[in-house]
Amino acid sequence: MNFLVDNQLPPALARFIQTEFNVRAIHVFDVGLRDASDAEIWNYVSTNDSILISKDEDFANMVLQAPTARLIWVRFGNCRKAFLLNAFQEMWPRIVERLESGDLLIEIR
């Protein structure tokens, strides 16, 4: 599994996922997509067999309209990095289970 973490989430989340769960995870900054449009980011994850992690509701709509990629939709409001990383630590087994079962949209709150 490959993950791309969107702008609204910290680069530390990508590093945490890669280190903690031993999967490839990068931030949009890492691939020159810092200022990219939603369409450009969606195209990237679609063509690079990646799973997008984002807080942006627009991507949830894209999954429904053009299901060419998968999304982990983070629904937490503004939160500290420690809270976010802890939430991913706790939810990771369920996230993986849902991804492996083929879910295109996984909403976490």
Instruction: Summarize pLDDT for 89-105 with one digit per residue, the tens.
Output: 999 999 999 999 999 99
Q: What is the pTM of this model?
A: 0.95
Number of domains within the chain: 1
Domain around 52: 2-108
- List the CATH number of the domain containing 70: 3.40.50
Q: Alpha carbon of 94 to those of 58, 65, 84, 89, 108: distances in Å?
A: 23, 25, 16, 10, 10
At 32-91, the pLDDT tens digits run 999 999 999 999 999 999 999 999 999 999 998 888 999 999 998 888 999 999 999 999
Residue 67 pLDDT: 87
